[in-house]
Amino acid sequence: MRNLFRKPKKSVFKFITIIFAGLLLVFAANYYINYKYSLITDDFFSKFNSCDFTAAKDIITDDNIYLKLKKKTLNKDLNTYFSSVVKNLCDSVLDNEDSKSKALVVLNEIKSYNILNSSLNKVIISLDDTYIPESDSDYKAILDLALDNYDNGDFDIAINLLNKIPDSSKYYSDATNYIEKCITDYKDNLFKEADDLVKDDYYTKAINLLSNADTSIITEDDADINNKIDSIAEAKENYLASIGANDSQNSTLTSNKLLQSITSSNINTLNIESLTPYLIYVNLSEQMTYVYKGTMNKWDTIKSFTCSTGIDDEKTPTGIFDVRERGDWFFSDKYQQGGKYWVQFYGDYLFHSVPYNEDQSEVVDNTLGTPASHGCIRLKTNDAKWIYDNIEAGTKVIIN
């Protein structure tokens, strides 16, 4: 009986020894495989980082036994590595540290590994204006990129991308729907902004906003835009009429006040309104132009410019006007001189720079502080540019 019990003990010990040896062998083999895998991938990353793409691709071959054994790990590591490279490239392009062309070379090389797929396509398409889609996966990437721009409110970019999806693509229907959505949302945002301006009685500014709507998003003769402009123009007429009705009894007194000298001490006692947050006052006797910012009876002087107005035979008109059109240059054949940064306030009368010769290379008359113009209001070139850049159409202009 004792002998019978001894044999199994030796058998169990032998079995355990075999198992242990097998596990040790597996561990050693796995360690070696991982070691070889690390050497191979480290060499690949080094070559790729150095832009030695041919050598890098030669390292990642299908017949490499170690890579075959670690295929899932390799795909995961390549995904992580390539994602990091793409992010760094995008950041460098945004920071102007790298050119788009260089980035696209690297991105297209990454694309050849078929690891990142559509997410990579989206990045390439965003950087390459000449990219030619090759498959529906490309059109899916275009759609995704368009939706990113739509979410950011960049409707013009989104529409441009969506228009690249042909009717043969299965994403064409989605593209068409989102184009309509871009147009609708753009107009809704535009109308809301215009309504906010109208609430503050900035009718002219609201009309200008709508008149300058982005024609890459909507057509020039968009019926909704035109109807909205007409309704605001009508509201503006009613507003101006109501002001006239309310002030009818004191219209003469008000007009006389506005055509007297306006000073910093009395400007906020005259109930002066403007359709924009700005007001311009030109004092002919002082040959000064003053710019105010604020609202009725809350005006603050923000600029004062020495100017030159019309000579006796061609006087600058006095009265109450408003800013209208503008341009960066005009030239008069009659007077053989022109002006930079002109802003119209009445007919042919403008704010503009001191006069220049025809090729804009030389100032022909530097006179300021005394009448010297043919009726316009001359300013230093920088002062004229400030008005050109900042004063909106509809701004009230008072000259006396």
Given a cut of 70, the residues of the chain with pLDDT beneath it are 1-10, 94-98, 118, 201, 239-260
Residue among 161, 162, 155 at smallest CA distance from 182: 155
Beta carbons of 83 and 117 less than 8 angstroms apart: no
Does some domain include residue 378? yes
Q: From residue 113, give the alpha-carbon distance in Å to each of 79, 91, 109, 183.
A: 10, 22, 7, 38
Q: Terminal CA-to-CA distance of the chain, rounded, Å?
A: 133
Q: What are the tens digits of pLDDT across the range 325-337?
A: 999 999 988 889 9
Rounded Cα gap, residues 56 and 255, in angstroms: 83
Does some domain include residue 105? no
Q: What are the tens digits of pLDDT across the range 153-198?
A: 999 989 988 998 889 889 999 999 999 999 999 999 999 999 988 8
Does some domain include residue 168? no
Residue among 132, 136, 214 at smallest CA distance from 175: 136
Residue located via tokens 């690297």: 106
Residue 300 is part of which domain span? 260-399
Q: Specify the pLDDT at position 1.
A: 47
Q: Specify the pLDDT at position 374.
A: 93
> Would you say the pTM of this structure is higher than 0.75?
no
The CB-side HSE value for 361 (13 A sphere, CA atoms) comes to: 1
Angle between helices 118-127 and 71-94 (to 10 degrees): 20
Bridging pattern class, strands 377-379 and 300-308: antiparallel
Rounded Cα gap, residues 350 and 364, in angstroms: 18
Does some domain include residue 278? yes
Q: Specify the pLDDT at position 255.
A: 53
Tokens of 3: 């002998």
Beta carbons of 394 and 202 less than 8 angstroms apart: yes
Q: How many domains does the chain have?
A: 1
Q: DSSP secondary-structure letter at 11?
A: H
Rounded Cα gap, residues 366 and 378, in angstroms: 10
Beta carbons of 308 and 381 less than 8 angstroms apart: no
Catalytic residue among 182, 307, 352, 374: 352
Q: Specify the pLDDT at position 239.
A: 66
Rounded Cα gap, residues 234 and 247, in angstroms: 20
We report the CATH number of the domain holding residue 339 as 2.40.440.10
Does some domain include residue 336? yes
Percent helix, strand, coil in the chain (nearest 5)? 55, 15, 30
Does some domain include residue 302? yes
Q: Is-catalytic flag, 374?
A: no
Q: From residue 17, give the alpha-carbon distance in Å to each of 23, 54, 78, 192, 392.
A: 10, 48, 40, 81, 92
Q: Residue 281: how many CB atoms within 10 A of its CB? A: 23
Q: Specify the pLDDT at position 98.
A: 55
Catalytic residue among 182, 307, 374, 376: 376
The CB-side HSE value for 50 (13 A sphere, CA atoms) comes to: 11
Query: In sequence order, what are the beta bridge partners of 377?
Result: 351
Does some domain include residue 149? no
DSSP string, 188-212: HHHHHHHHHHHHTT-HHHHHHHHHT
Does some domain include residue 160? no
Question: Counting every residue, how long is the chain?
Answer: 400
Bridging pattern class, strands 349-353 and 377-379: parallel
Rounded Cα gap, residues 399 and 261, in angstroms: 9
> Under 8 Å CB-to-CB from 271, ≥6 apart: which residues?
254, 296, 297
